[in-house]
Chains A and B, each alone.
Chain A
């Protein structure tokens, strides 16, 4: 039998995961050689070859699962012909006949596969002129979406692309990790986790972050909201959350300091006229940032309704792509999780993200230097220093503070 199949490695095993291929396609395999590492429900075990030959094809890629007996690879002895290709009864989760690159043979158990952000593609299709311009401008073609025939990258695509730094770290872990032992769990990345990994790594490595923090007197906000909600409840209307007020204030402050609503575009800063507000929403195994479009045109009530709708649909994974793309500024609120204050990672290609903490009751000094009970709200601003300088960030936070400490203006 020239096929290598998923073996039964434990009594309770029904399926296994190929953690790593130790042999690459085209490599000779001797009897007893370890050809792969298989993870069962209990442990990672080595798969040894019972026959010698050459590894001809791999059907289950690293990270892919297969039930017991499923064909994992094709091993041909010298002079043996490949059988008819009828084996791709796709019972496995990933049945990719991969082209295994030599880099997979590296001893590090972490995946060394080259990942390209944001969308991993195989061969880059680009015109000769596009390649030359990209070379001259240090633009990474792998990051560009082509607009030419068949999605080919043409000159205009490169000319309008932002300049990328020479070395782009890949999202794949490049630092060796401890191999999972008995009782450890290996959790393959979902599509969402991969995107989070890629985007946030790109953000932290490519965007020069700096952080500003303020503490706002939220006393008036607490009083106003309680007062309003009392009335809203009586009239049967939905209540307003602190977050609704904060979002409205964030947007209103942007209209005063529009520079924060911007992106760094390589040879220019693009300042957006519309405020498309991304709101971070925690979902199962990740987070999404649905977008409130043209938030500057929306009232407090409209923002409240929009965010409620988007968050609900985000949690049930019912958002359309256009509903979580194209934001110009993000708010991340961990107040309901009891976090006092934090500094979020910028959501690229935006220039700033606001980190909202909990409204905390604590002793404060009043105007007469007396210790009195007060409500305090910690707000952090993480900014891309290429777009926003410290003074601009401070100016923005001062506007935001003014609005939150006099929240009645937000009702207008």
Chain B
């Protein structure tokens, strides 16, 4: 772990460690729109996608090199790193005539090998999640969940308390990994839940309510906290903070967006960007919580920013 931390600081040092709120350009442009960056758990890499969430790319912070993992449609929406920072789990799509077919895949970022867990299916309204210390992948279905072997043999973490959480319409479903016990939560009755993210320690979730605010909640459904207006939350690795965006739009396009961080209990809300000419979106904490990556909607680029 010390090595990882040292490596992360070395990586930041290569970028002359930005001043607070002084973003460093990493990649992308108006002609090569890049979005939705996410730090790998080891802090060495950033996964990102292109406009329309098409394809998956990896940016190596040490070498500043880019690598395309896939060009499949929809691969860049809802993707997740494995805990060992070696794989990306995603739901991809292919289109035949007018119809969409979806499949769950695991991409090995070193070998570019793909492990296809499902057939291409015409209706797959749920996103897959890692489970059981990354040795499994679960895919919610209309009636329950499907469980797939991920091909990873060694559990990346203790699964004693691990809980999967996923959305089914206006409900959040939690599933104990050990005993597969299901619990259905309705934090906002009759309201669609979206952008649910589970904290790294598995104790909390953050989510949006369609047409409503951003919330945090204990995984058992208690302690629901209204975090106010906000979208696309992501947790810090210590599971204490959430970084997210507050955006304004005119119904056809975004007119403004800034990035905020907030404690899970709703305290210490902090504006991390406060620009009038940049539309900052899709933030993600670095593993040590000292920096964020995000994209800027109106220039198509991804930036790294120290937030200490």
State whether these chains interact: no
Could you tell me which A residues sit within 8 Å of B by CB distance? none
